[in-house]
Structure 1
Amino acid sequence: MRLLLRVCFIAMLLVFYMLLCAEMRKEEEPLNSGKSTNSIIKVRKNYTAANDRRPENVTLRKKVRNTGRKRVSRGPQSDSGCIRLGGICQPNRYVCRGHYLEGKCSGAKLRQCCLQAGAWSVLCAGHHNNRVRACDAHACGAFNSKRGNGLHKAVDLVCDDYSVINAPFSGSLAGPVSQKDPAGNQYDGVKLLSDVHCVEIFNIRPYHFLGPVAQGEALGYLLPLQERFDGITSHVELRMCDGSDPSSFI
């Protein structure tokens, strides 16, 4: 009987011990899981902090610096633009028997295109040169002279009524042109263009509106301006298609 009681007592102690161990394990598990979670968070923080210094940031800064630099404008890479105009590229300190044009020559800025005087032939037959119309009772014929509220973006060359007008350079006729002044008067003409130049010639009656022409070839005749405007100097109006000054070519 005593032996049975001892066995029962020992069994109860073992059961109690097992229950106590089980309770202790349950209490330790959340603590351990908290530690593991904290360690994972710390590892992630450390990984993020370590990767904050990424090489992409350095690359972006370099790009910003490069785009912030000023670009240096370069001139022409060759002298072909000047040569096609019949000019010579040389330092502008040299004497030029004509006019200098900028932006047509390679090299230093002081190296410019020298266009010889009289690069185009005389437009009005019977005249020895292209003479710009002076000021008369109606207006002045120089480029950028005042015309009403604006400026004259062409050059008027003196010519006689009904005189033959010759082509200033070789090229092709590109159809009729016309314009009106502030008073409503209409002026007719023709467009002449080549690989280098493009001009509109007004106050003439063309023989043809299309087709190739050679330098010095007759284009038409001057319309009688003096019959319409008393006291005006008869002239042919020469206008560059881009509105630039043709004075250096005539």
Structure 2
Amino acid sequence: MSAPCVFIAGTDTGIGKTHASVTLMYALREHGLRVAGMKPVASGCDETADGRRNADALALQAAGSPMPAYAKVNPVALRAPVSPHLAAEEEGVVIDLEALYAGYQELTSRYESVVVEGVGGWMVPLGDELMAGELARRFELPVILVVGLRLGCLNHALLSARAIQADGARLLGWVGNRIDPHMDMVDANVRTLQRMMPVPCLGELPHGESPLSAARHISAAAEAVIAAAKA
């Protein structure tokens, strides 16, 4: 049996991967697991007295039980708030997949469950020959896709699911995140996704609810991660 770990992919940037990741961490913690979050690569980091810090990575760090060191959560912290391959190029940094994998293995040696958040969407480049989705494949992690519920989400979700599966990753399911409280016909869009997506819906996150409170909405996602580890 493998550890109940998972990769969180998104249909785009700004659709709530971090919110979903932290919420899932709390849902996994309710099963009595020691859980850590990891964002291997983050662009858009602020310079602080303690070094570079990324808001998403800080949220993942804070949700850890017990809380890990920041460098373990976010080993590659890039300054510019642009695509990571451009931010890395600007700094002369080459993102090393094997180094990131070693960092992931270190976390799994200390925690029973690790939630790994991607950067941007599945096909975001990390370098000339490295895409964000390769993290999930190298870490040998099943994937949950976060669908930001806003205009255009049907196309983004269906294309992302197709790409994830075409790349040979195991897609466990998807989670809807109501990022646009004014989206027209949101329930009809969710029903369309439930019919057309190749994997089940594992929960839906309401707009404006804290991760701790919202954990109950994605209990099915936590159960799917645990079941996948036992398979």
Range class of TM-score, shorter chain: under 0.3
TM-score by length of 2: 0.23
TM-score by length of 1: 0.22
Q: Computing the radius of gyration over CA atoms, which structure comes out larger, 1 or 2?
A: 1
More strand by proportion, 1 or 2?
1
